[in-house]
Structure 1
Amino acid sequence: MSTPAERPTVLFVCVHNAGRSQMGAAFLTHLGAGRVEVRSAGSAPAQTVNPAVVEAMREVGVDISAEVPKVLTVEAVRSSDVVITMGCGDACPYFPGKRYLDWKLEDPAGQGVDAVRPIRDEIENRVRDLLADLGVEAAE
């Protein structure tokens, strides 16, 4: 088991931190099983996480009902090894030497759970690929 200092830190960023970034963070937390430090934030955070997103994640056994959208800070970006943007555009600060990934995904805002499921499944697949790329075996 790696020490906390050896764990990679991943930050998921979207505008409202109410859907895509919450799902990404939840999957990485769940599948990374403590081997990755996970953060999420939004450039203009919503008041609550999208209820359809909470329901879609519950369907796959991941409870995010207690999560709260958080504001993106320069420090969160600075202290992360990998920054994954999901539609925050130029609102995300750039630091040389950081690894940035831009995951183009449909925004689940205002959509029902049926529309959220394929977004959720795509995020899970990308998180599994990210774990493999980081050299971290996914927990099941």
Structure 2
Amino acid sequence: MTESTDKPVVLFVCIHNAGRSQMAAGYLRELSGGAVEVRSGGSEPGDQINPIAVQAMAEEGIDISQAVPQLMTTEQVRASDVVITMGCGDVCPIFPGKRYEDWDLVDPAGKGIEDVRPIRDDIKRRVQALLGELTPR
């Protein structure tokens, strides 16, 4: 837990912050019920959320349509307990003492809903496992 909050802080990072990281953030916000502070960012933020990612999450009852791609900052990484990267390679800053995971996920950019659903479902499984570790019952 960071000093500023009694909740664990998780940062999801992908290149454009328009698909994978937004879906993961949407799931963690929804599934944690506020028990986890959720942030997301990108190394080269896109200009909008991937509409197919929005559609895929809407099928799960999660609305990410109002999310806006954000630039990931060094301060966000420093203030997070867990940093999950999704294909941003060497552009994600690393700080000693942080928990890092790299989730090898297909980029949903340019894909149709049939191809995005399995990516969404993979993200959901990973988020559920992460949540189980962060908030043991």
TM bin, normalised by shorter chain, reads: over 0.9
Shift of 1:135: 2.4
Q: CA separation in 1, counterparts of 2:134 and 2:59?
A: 27
Task: Provide the C-alpha distance between the structure 2 equivalents of 1:114 and 1:46, rounded to a whole number of angstroms.
Answer: 22
C-alpha separation between the residues in 1 aligned to 2:134 and 2:50? 29
Task: Give ranges in structure 1 of 5+ residues lacking alignment.
Answer: none
Structure-2 residue corresponding to 1:19: 19
Please state if 1:135 is matched with 2:135.
yes
Report the Cα distance in structure 2 between the residues aligned to 1:5 and 1:64, rounded to whole angstroms.
Answer: 24
- Offset of residue 136 of structure 1: 4.6
Match in the other structure for 2:60: 60
Q: Quick check: 1:35–1:136 contact (8 Å CA) kept in 2?
A: no
Structure 1 runs of 4+ aligned residues shifted over 2 Å read none
* Pairwise CA distance, 1:5: 2.0
Aligned partner of 1:25: which letter? Answer: A
Unaligned runs of 5+ in 2: none
Per the alignment, residue 33 of structure 1 pairs with: 33
Residue by residue, what CA displacement relative to the aligned partner does 1:47-80 show, whole Å, maximum 9, x if unpaired? 0000000000000100011110000100000000
Q: Which residue of 2 aligns with 1:98?
A: 98
Q: Normalization by structure 1: what TM-score?
A: 0.93
| Cα distance, 1:6 vs structure 2 | 1.5
Secondary structure class of the residue paired with 1:104: coil
Matched, 1:6 2:6: yes
Aligned residue identity for 2:50: N
Structure 2 CA distance for aligned equivalents of residues 117 and 136 of structure 1: 28
Tell me the matched-pair count.
134
Q: How far apart are 1:81 and its partner, in Å?
A: 0.1
Instruction: Write the distance in 2 (CA, Å) between the matches of 1:25 and 1:107.
Output: 15
Identity fraction in percent: 60
Q: Tell me, in whole angstroms, the C-alpha distance in 2 between the residues paired with 1:66 and 1:136.
A: 30
Distance 1:17 1:136 in 2: 28
Q: CA RMSD in A?
A: 1.0
Q: Which amino acid aligns with 1:21?
A: S
